[in-house]
Amino acid sequence: GMGVVLCATHRELGHKVAIKFLASEDDTSSSAVERFLREGKIVASLQSDHVVRIYDIGRLDSGIPYMVMELLRGRDLGNYVAASGPVPVQQAVDWLLQASHAISEAHERGIVHRDLKPSNLFLTQRSDGSDCVKVLDFGISKRVTVQDSAQMGPSLTATRQIVGSPAYMSPEQVRNARDIDHRVDIWALGMTLYELLAGHT
């Protein structure tokens, strides 16, 4: 909800990219800017094929931050289920294992996503036509270890602030969004798998 994404063409190379901007000029001096740029740094630090690639981050002359990303073609799993209904077990498990690959790397780096849900898992295709799931939107992620904390910056979440999507949040995350660990992502993946298999939350 904090970004607007546009398709653009690189003028020298000719290939298409996605450019995500902060949604409102009113937020350019707020913590939203820190959160936005922090997301770009976190995603750029992850090497998994199941995370969207970040090519650049910066600011326009107006101060609005942006990030240049790979352009994904396909649809998120929330839209997929809404249009097609329940997903066969083998396919659903394969998609969740792909997402888990990215989340596992994030957890190894002390990063908790905190907002995993079908609409943040994007289904695209590799060059050979096989399915590839990419994890999107690390905008409310949290670093839970001291290691490398200086690189990613401090947590931007107030103690009593509820962060995430309620249908996919563990009770611990609802009670206190700051005092959580990687297990909230495991919960959210379980809720996501249920939705893929049942066709509803």
Distance set, CA 130 to CA 9, 25, 81, 125 (Å): 25, 40, 19, 5
Distance set, CA 39 to CA 140, 145, 151 (Å): 8, 17, 12
* Tokens 């981050």 found at: 57
Give phi and psi for 171, each to the nearest 5: -55, -35
How far is C-alpha 138 from the chain's CA centre?
4
Residues contacting residue 196 through CB under 8 Å, at least 6 positions apart:
77, 81, 86, 87, 92, 95, 96, 118
115 catalytic, yes or no? yes
Please report, as a single letter, which amino acid is at residue 70.
Answer: E
Q: Which of 76, 115, 137, 185 is catalytic?
A: 115
Residues annotated catalytic, as ranges: 115
